[in-house]
Structure 1
């Protein structure tokens, strides 16, 4: 099996994506409502954000690792048909690796990465890259119609479900007429990890309970609503592309790497899960390792999707 193997699911129409969204949004998250400790074990978490994953060196390494996997799956850094953008914005830029590569690909463009913190300040970025500290939940600190390409990915664990329509509207606001906005997200519901074994089902249940306490999506509503969010934000020429990615050695190199990435992401929230539900962290780590073995045994696939749309030239 080739190392870049992945299976493309059937292309979903916008109406199909809308029909799949049957659940009602949950309430949003308020700062301090279910605060994670800033330090738990060896990991560092943000207290005043709904974001579940840690902000530390271990997560920096995982995010860079994940970036290269996603680039291999998509065979590039984006799917939108951008040409020669003058300004590019990456919202929730994380380590900045995606934005660095776009800055190198488009040296004539100004590339801005926005996030809560600059997690790799020691890295020398390309000269046309700039970091801006900000919080998408508080709005973007940019003028309307500012960017030819606006990119956001894997923030389903950071943005409360109720906030998603407004967030995408804000992305569309700063997109220039004729420019593109692109979203990439993963499934959070158990049906997006199929087939699944008992350990996978249990760790998904515990993680979903923790996420629900913070208003985050636990039913893959975001994954199936990306196209609708873009449409409601006024974008056109919308494309919605779901993918199924193998987890485990059965899926070749991509399957092995994605399984490692997901295992590390689960371990990153093992301490909060243990603390919240009165279990030992060692028991949670053992459960994660059992799930990791199941993915190869059951030939589990993980679903995610990319959606992009264009801002009309006249509105």
Structure 2
């Protein structure tokens, strides 16, 4: 269960995507306002920016307004702080590795669903020869970045219109972000150079327990089951990560490798490293269970805000109970385009 043995089963072009793309704050727009057509483009871009920057207030949380709040996680300060701690939890889990595929010489790199942008910045700083683009639905990335990094706002479930291909495509903690993982991986294949790699680093629902200590009536078990059901109803399934290796092969990737890790939900393991990871995971899920549940449960399960808040408190209590030996599988899966 706790093995980490692999399972073998320059400047960036400014407008890599057309139509709905929008660059992050601090990046100038390539619009010449000297003619009527450019003025029309300027007006359209301003309208798009307004849509992107508009936030939805719902049940006491703030969600992005782009694509009508399609993504179910909040974008308020509380959630962004949790995502930051989650990023560092991932780094500790992966022993400070940003990637497992042979991507050290990648020239063009895409971080699909870059979130707060930490991975983009870290990769760009460690690989100054690379051009690194982070794409996300929400404009939550920092304004200041390395000169070889760029953020774009776009929906990666739509058709990709990059004007070039990548050497490496990365995604981290995107469970529940894509309705159609095979299509996403197919577009990764199409927009990779030959010999390029795609890598998915993600959590796999449902919550596991190997010794019967997570009873069916426990709040944390019920939360895991409800998250699975809500994911099914919303179309954003949470158990796709465990099937990514097969999806990669179906998309045409070869030399597919999967490296398993795990996050205990608290300090129950005897192993000291896992015990520490469990403590950090407990803190992260205690902070995030309400954020993860609020939109899914109120939009798709018929719950009220108060019901989610009360239930989340019981889940947090279970997360702190070291007699419950539960854990989430974490998989790093990568493959090569022949």
The TM-score, its normalising length taken from structure 2, stands at: 0.75
Residue 286 (structure 1) aligned to one of 308, 313, 334: 313
Does the 8 Å CA contact 2:113/2:135 hold for their aligned counterparts? yes
Unpaired runs of 5+ in structure 1? 1-5, 15-36
Rg larger in structure: 2
* CA drift at 1:105: 0.7
Provide the residue aligned with 2:87 in structure 1. 67
1:227 paired residue number: 245
1:7 aligns with 2:7: no
Higher relative contact order (CA 8 A, sep 6+): 1
Alignment of 1:134-283 (within 5 A): 134-143=154-163, 146-160=165-179, 163-191=180-208, 195-197=213-215, 198-218=218-238, 220=239, 222-250=240-268, 251-272=274-295, 273=297, 276-278=302-304, 280-283=307-310
Alignment length (residue pairs)? 278
Post-superposition CA distance 1:85-127 (Å, at most 9, x none):
11111000000100100000100111100011220344x1111
Q: CA deviation at 1:196?
A: 2.3
Offset, 1:49:
5.0
Cα distance change of structure 1 residues 280 and 225 upon mapping to structure 2, 3 Å threshold: closer
Tell me, what secondary structure is at the counterpart of 2:320? helix
Contact 2:113 2:174 in 1 (8 A): yes
The alpha-carbon deviation at position 277 of structure 1 amounts to: 2.2
3-state SS of the aligned residue for 1:249? Answer: coil
TM-score by length of 1: 0.80
Gaps in structure 2 of 5+ consecutive residues: 10-54, 269-273
How many Å apart are 1:79 and its aligned residue? 0.8
CA RMSD of aligned residues (A): 2.4
Tell me which residue corresponds to 2:56. 38
- Alignment CA distance shift 1:270-1:216 (3 Å): closer
- Residues 270 and 155 of structure 1, relative CA distance in 2, 3 Å threshold: closer
Aligned-partner SS, 1:45: strand
